Each structure stands twice: as C-alpha cells, then as structure tokens.
Structure 1
C-alpha cells in the first residue's frame, strides 16, 4: 500500500480521499527540516501547502518518494530541478482557487474606491470624519486587465456585472476570446492610458517582471488605482511608492510583495495604500477544493499511474515514453522558438508531423509544442495543463499527420496564425535523438536550439558577418555556434548564434544599429 505524508495543515477531506483510494496517510505538520529529513524516507508521496520547503537536501533523504503534491498554484517552495533529477513528479492544483483570488481582487478594488481601511480605522478611533473620505463609483469606470487567463476572465466577468468597461492586455488573448469575455483587447500602452483601475493576473516571468515599471506607471492616467493579487515582482514597488507620494497614483492595493513574508516595506504607512498578507487563496471553499484535488491527483498517480497537472512530467504510458522523449524535446524547443519570435495575438497553432514522427502518439508531441510556446509567457505551464491553457485563451490547436517522407526521415513542423499571416518553423532528429532546427519562417537553416541565442534578420550583403562579429567582440560576447540561412543571394538572411551569456538590451541595441539589420532578438532555451 502506498504511503503519503501530509506535512502542512490541510482540509481533512484530503486524508479521507487518500484512505478511500487505498493509500495509507499520516498527517504530521510543523516539522523542522531536520525532522522531515529523518522521516521522509518511508513515504511514497508528500502532500504540502506553502510551509514545507521541499529542498534538494530533503529530496536526498527521500529514498522512496515518487510524487510531491502542492495544494495550490505556486511551487516556489519545491526544488523542481532537484525533484526531476530524483525522478519525483511534482504536481500542483492550478485551478482550485481561481474564484477566490478573483474575488479578493474585486474586494481590494472596492476597498480602494471607498477608502474602507482608512475609514474603518478613523471611525473606530471615534473621529467620525465623514467629509474626509470621498470615494469614487466603480460604475462606468474602465478596468484595465493585465492577464486574461482563468483568474483574469473571472475578474472581467465580475467587473462587467458592476457595469464597468473592461479593457485587457494579454499576448495570448485572441479577438474571438475577447468578444466571448466581453472585453476590449488593447495594447499595454492603450491600457495604461485609459484605465481608471488596473488589476494584474499574470504569472511572474522574465517577460512580465516589473511590467508596471517606473516608465509604465508614468504612462497611466492620473489618479489610477492599482491592484495586484497575482505575484510580487510584477510592479516596481519603489516606483509605486513614488507615484503614491506624488499623487499621480490615486491608490494601490497589494496582496503580494517581492519579498514575503513582507514584515517591512517602504509602502507601509503610505496614504491610499492597502495591503493584505497573500490572502488571495484564503477562503474555506478554496482550501477544501485544493485539498481534494491534490489528494485525488496523488492517489491516481500512486495507485494507477495517472498523471494530472504535473509540472515536470507529461501524460505518457511507460511503453510510449522512450520513443516519444526526443520528439517531445524537439517539439518543446520549436514551440518555444515560435513563441519567442511571434508578435501579436495567435489564434491558431498547427502541429504537422511527417515520416516517422507521424507514426507516434501525436498528443504528447502537441502538448510539448504548447508547453514550449506558452512557457514564454506562463511560468507554471507544462505538457499536462498546456492544452487547457491554450483552450482558455481561445487558441485553436490543429494536428496534422503525413506519413510520407519529405526531405527528412522524420519532421515536426509548428505553424502559428496571427493577424500578419501564418509562419512556421520545422525541426528533425539527428540520429533519432538530437533535436535540430531545419527551417525558420520559410528559410532553410540548420541549428541547435540551446542556451542563450541571438536571432538576426538582415539584408544579405558582403561584409555583414564581419561587422556583426566585430560588434560582438567589442561587446565582449563569445560566440558558441553560428548558423546562417537565406532565401536567395542578396535577399533576406537569418542568423542564429549561440552565445555564452544572456543577450542584453545593450547588445541588441548595438546589433540593431548595424547597417542592414531588420530584426534582432535574444532567445533562450
């Protein structure tokens, strides 16, 4: 009989479900890391919330551990690379507290609009300062939604019920999905200029970090009120403080901070600032939901091998895994490449397999493409939840098989459709194992997609490669590999260079200044 340890306080429904599914369970909470190390070796599964830290050291003592289940979304307290190296599946419950988090954002919006915390403190102090607290109505105001996924769509629905106008910025939001949600899809700059209230519902990634930077906060309407129940780090807290002090920002409410627990912050005590201690998921209903979900997922895995909402493992049978593993690695890289290079809303992704690839199970390959594509914007995406996330964003997914062989024995092609038309990338396996890019937006080019890379589109002209090499040398950038392709002599050429360090904004500016450069971007794999 599998054995699970519940190491954080969790709703009793979790233990009940484990026992009903034939899993032995111990509920032992509040243990120190050393105490957890001493006992973890006897368990097949570990069910946690946010208190238990599943570190590399803990995992080294987990000799029998097969799965870690996080009752909630965030897995910052789990060393996922160490778990993967150990062969431990890490699961979360990404949709169990969506309504609760959305409602908390709405509650904070009301608190800002009517200055409820300050009014409460004043009244309870016996001051009765009725004329001091002049609020604003939400009706007819414009709510700017940064992130229109599961939680963001719920906030939009509630805001529309309050007769607010909702504008949304989300690179993955299609026009059709925007119509379905009843929101207007806009650019980030348009949202900043028009919104009376801004609420964030996007994960923290390299692309979204400080999305409300000092520069972007300066673009907002005077008197704007800002709410963040998503992740600390989406807002430049120092710039937010300056905006509140100057009066440009009319109010801000944060449930999340860059550093948590936030025992100190320059924002504390600032007028028109409201804060809560990461309460987005803190309702009775949400805690019951995530407890039930994590127990069901872990029990299914331990008893029957089913995998749901895994962050480091696709849904695969034991027989399929060895054959599909290199194809999924190729598919994820192609998805990531097209995601990083594409601009504008994408409403359709097509995955076309040819030759040997067409004889395999298509679903894991497609899921790997979606995981790579969505992973450029979404922190917790994986091959299990990627199809659901794509569907939530209104992205149509097509699978096409062609058993005939073309130029290659096996080929995976990923095409995306945007307002600018359809673009595709293609790759193959060398030696049936090594992923290799062979076509980029119609240009033949062979390249390994690894580490940090520089992507350049330029006019094919003599001397360009020399000028580029000189510019990189002057910037102290070492080239690992160099891949070149072109449509025709004197036409458009593409360069893919692997470099030893991440591509910086300064390096991109230097490259873009070279004569003949049409596009330059940094890529990461």
Structure 2
C-alpha cells in the first residue's frame, strides 16, 4: 500500500537512497530511460528462474514485469523491500494479488496501452475468417490453385455481435461500422445512451446469438463470463456464424466449439487465447475452419512501447511521490482520509457487491445516498467503493481506482446524494440501481465495533453482516418455511452459520427475505432443491 498509509513517511525524493526497480521481463528500453529520468535506479535482468529471482528480489522496491515472471507468494515472501509490482499490459494472471495485498505491495497494470492493438487483431481475425486467408495461403504456397475451394463472404452489411462493449469493444465497433457492418452488443453496463453515442444497438445475449453473423469477445474472464459461449449458447447462434476471441481463454467452451465446427453449424472460429496457455497442445488444433494465433493481441511495436512507458511512469510516480494510478488492490486515498473513510468504503463495497449480484438485468443508473455522519465525508471514495463492488461480478480487475472510469465508459448514470436529515441511524449509506426491472435499493450502516451491517434491502428491513458465502431467498411468509430450508441444506451437508430474516411491512403471509450465512458454497443441485420448496420465489448464492 501507499507508504504513507503504512506509517512509512519517508519521501524518496528527499532521501539519500534512491528507490530501486528490477525489470525482470523483456521490455522496451524506454521504460528504463523513464525510471532513470524520474530518479529511480533500475536493473534489467531477464530470463531468471524463480529461484534466481528469489535470491535478488529483496534488494528492490519495485518489480516491472510482463507475462513471463510469475509473482508468487514465495517470491513476495522473499521481496522484503518490495512496494509495487507493475505489469506492462492488462492481464495480471501471473501475479498473486491477494498475496501481494497481504504483504502491502501495490499491483498496477496498464489497462489501456494495448487497446487499439488488440482491437485491430480482432478485426484482422475477422477478415481472415471471412476470406479463409490462412488456408488459401497454405494451399497456394503448396503449388495448388484452388480458387473455387476458398469462397469467402463479405463483411459489408453483415451483423457483428460484441460480447463486451468497453474500451476495446468500442474500438472494434468503430472499425466495424467503418466497414459498413451493423453492430449489436451485449454488455450489462452499457446504457442505451452510450450505445447510441457509439452507433451500436444494445441487445440481450440471446438476441445477439440469434442475429450475429460474426461474434467477437471483449470481456474479462469472471465467474459470470466463464464459458459464456457454452454449448447451449452456440446452439442458439445462426447457422454459419463465425466466432472470434482475442480477449481471454475460458470465455468459450472449447469442446463445444470443436463439435460445432465439425458439424458445420459454426462456419469458422479464430482464437488468440485459450483455456490453458501456453497452448502447445489443444483439442481444437486441426479442426477444420479454425484459425489460431499465440496470444498476439498486444504484440505490436507500438503497443509494447506504450505499455512500457506507462508502467514506468506509474511506478516512478508511486515510488517518488506516492501517486497511485491503475492500482488493482488499493484506492487512491490520502493519509488523512483513510482512517475515517475505510469502514465506510468496506460498507459501500459490500452494498455494491450485494446489489450487483442480485441485479440480473441491464443497469441504467446508480444512486449512492449518504446521510448522518456519512454525509460529512467526501462521497467520491464511497461511490468508487460501491462501483467496485457492483462491477466485481463482471470484471476480474476492477477496483476503486478504475471503477468510476469503467462506469463512465459504459454510459452508466451515477448520482451522489447527500442528506442533512436525521434518520433511524447515526449514519447510513443507501445504494439504488435502475434496471429494466425497475429500481432496487439496499442500505447499510456502521454499528460501533461490529462494523458494517446491512439494514434494508428492496424495501424490507433485514439486518445482516455481509461476509463469506451466503444464500439469499425470497419466499411467501408461511409457518414451517425456515425448518424446510434448514432440513434441505442439512441433508446436503451445508452448515448454516446465521439466519437473517425480514418481511415486507411486517405483514404475515406477505413477501419475506431470508439471508443465510453458510460455511461453504452451495452447488447448483442444492440451489435447485431449495427452489422447489413451497412458497419460494427467488434463490441466489452470494459471496463476499
């Protein structure tokens, strides 16, 4: 974390000892130049084994990496002086972020330095699929002249479906519109206004699958997006669809894709990423009408220069001045704000996570209201914490630093409201979202030494601590229901920690809410069993 927040008040600029950074992966020389220009000592030692890195990492304040170096708990344990890890690129799969956080090490990336390059690679893959360029090239260089074999299709007037319309997806859309394609997009955070602004049509996932001639993926890999192109999803696509993935391996069920390619339902697929990398072996390899590249999305000279410059600038600013940009595991807070705001940010993050996990339809707007003691604080970090919790269900790299940007990028209307009124609690934070299904809100407070606590959800008063694995149930209030739930979970070996109950307007026989803290995640068959109980309206597994 920021040295100021650790009690380390040393300012490197005024210190006789310069901060020292190790560049452990091959990186553009401009990175080292920037470090030295900013007053940071730098060593470039690449190609080390983990054991070799462990022997020297204790001498460094910063570690600049790409994808080769694995920042494991063992490396972090040996890095006794390490304050920041900077990843030149967007993916941080090779960094153990929880372990880094535990050690007080900031993890940064450069999420926008290779956006254009990755978007252009997706467009290139789309052209290659449409005209069967790799197969035609191999055939021609083999001395064949098979013009009739390689009959392609035009991109003009075809429908391109974007799964994910953030930074990279928007660039792909812009390029595709220039090719006179019609672009539709599925993105839970894309508003109708933002879609109009970039010239695309916002649709549901099923609508996209049914209408798209080409489908391209531009979303992170999370629990919600894993295998988003499942066998069931692929079956919903129109015959002859072509699929491109330059985002993350694991978004497509590779076995299902292979079957669809072999049957001809999918006319072609182009992959730059795979469920297991490096993909020196893959069941898909050799499948007809498949194009594969070795994770080249960011592999252009311009992108390599951009991310190298950005990571050096960010790390140097942090080590010399304490500035924080694109950090994945800490907020941008001053030392004065942190103690007062920390418990509120924990509460806000929990409320955002709760409403994000329970909002199944597309978001249009979000309101963060504070009253009582919370109204006397800077609302920006509280709102950022809400957004980080809300979007964590859809992105594996969102945090308080980049969450507001991601919300703005998707056109999400965010409002902050302060109330001077006195309510039932000395302090209150309320989070409301507007969706296709209407408005939903949750509220929480701080209870002395007990910390953050939920006090209301969707108009029903219910008190609960939001932590670990939980089960959310909406049911018709009736005698014996709690016993039925307990028996069903008990038979499945799920231990209940606490019950939290509430019902609308205290009306017997009306709608009730049950929040259970449980000792382990609930599997789908158990959720289904709970769904079958009499009076159950909604069941959802939650995790905090």
TM bucket (normalised to shorter chain) is: over 0.9
8 Å contact kept, 1:356–1:403: no
Where in structure 2 are the equivalents of 1:96-495 lying within 5 Å?
96-431=113-448, 434-487=451-504, 488-495=507-514
Superposed CA offset, 1:294-347 (max 9, x none): 111111111111111111100011122122111111110100001111132212
Report how far residue 432 of structure 1 moved. 5.4
Matched residue, 1:519: 538
Task: Please say which of residues 301-310 and 338-347 is displaced more in the overlay.
Answer: 338-347
Where 2:149 maps in the other structure, the secondary structure is: coil
Aligned to 2:453, the other structure's residue is in SS state strand
Query: Could you list the runs of 5+ residues in structure 2 that have no partner in the other structure?
Result: 1-17
User: In 2, distance between residues paired with 1:318 and 1:483?
Assistant: 36
Which SS does the other structure have where 2:299 is aligned? coil
Shift of 1:503: 2.3
Whether the 8 Å contact between 1:503 and 1:523 is mirrored in structure 2 is no
Shift of 1:421: 2.4
Q: 1: CA distance between counterparts of 2:53 and 2:430?
A: 47
Distance 2:358 2:285 in 1: 40
- Is 2:48 aligned against 1:42? no
CA contact (8 A) 1:228 1:254 kept: yes
Q: What CA distance in whole angstroms lies between the structure 2 residues aligned with 1:349 and 1:287?
A: 37
Contact 1:480 1:498 in 2 (8 A): yes
Give the Cα separation in 2 of the matches to 1:354 and 1:93: 36
State the Cα distance separating 1:385 from its structure 2 match: 0.3
Point out 4+ residue stretches in structure 1 off by more than 4 angstroms. Answer: none
Contact kept, 8 Å, 1:326 with 1:433, in 2: the verdict is: no
* Residue of structure 2 equivalent to 1:66: 83
Report if aligned partners of 1:346, 1:417 keep a CA contact under 8 Å in 2.
Answer: yes
TM-score (norm 2): 0.95
| Matching residue within 483, 500, 523 for 1:504 | 523
SS in 1 for 2:147: coil
Please give the alpha-carbon distance, in whole angstroms, between the structure 1 residues aligned to 2:373 and 2:33: 46
Q: Give the whole-Å Cα distance in 1 for the aligned partners of 2:186 and 2:537.
A: 26
Q: Distance in 2 between matches of 1:419 and 1:123?
A: 53
Bigger Cα displacement from structure 2, 343-352 vs 385-394:
343-352
The separation in 2 between residues aligned to 1:101 and 1:343, in whole angstroms, is 29
C-alpha contact 1:453 1:497 (8 A) present in aligned 2: yes
Counterpart-to-counterpart distance in 2, 1:105 and 1:22: 39
Distance 1:42 1:332 in 2: 35
The C-alpha deviation readout for 1:256-301, integer Å capped at 9, x for no partner, is 0001000011111111000000000001111111111111111111
Q: How far apart in 2 are the matches of 1:240 and 1:4?
A: 44
TM-score, length of structure 1 as denominator length:
0.98
The separation in 2 between residues aligned to 1:245 and 1:342, in whole angstroms, is 37
Q: Please give the per-residue CA displacement for 1:146-183, whole angstroms capped at 9, x wherever unaligned.
A: 11111111111111111111111111111111111211
Deviates more, 1:469-478 or 1:56-65: 469-478
3-state SS, counterpart of residue 126 of structure 2: helix
Q: Which residue of 1 aligns with 2:3?
A: none
Aligned counterparts of 2:22 and 2:243: Cα–Cα separation in 1: 40
Is the contact made by 1:344 and 1:418 (CA closer than 8 Å) also made in structure 2? yes
User: Contact conserved, 1:11 with 1:291, CA < 8 A, in 2?
Assistant: yes
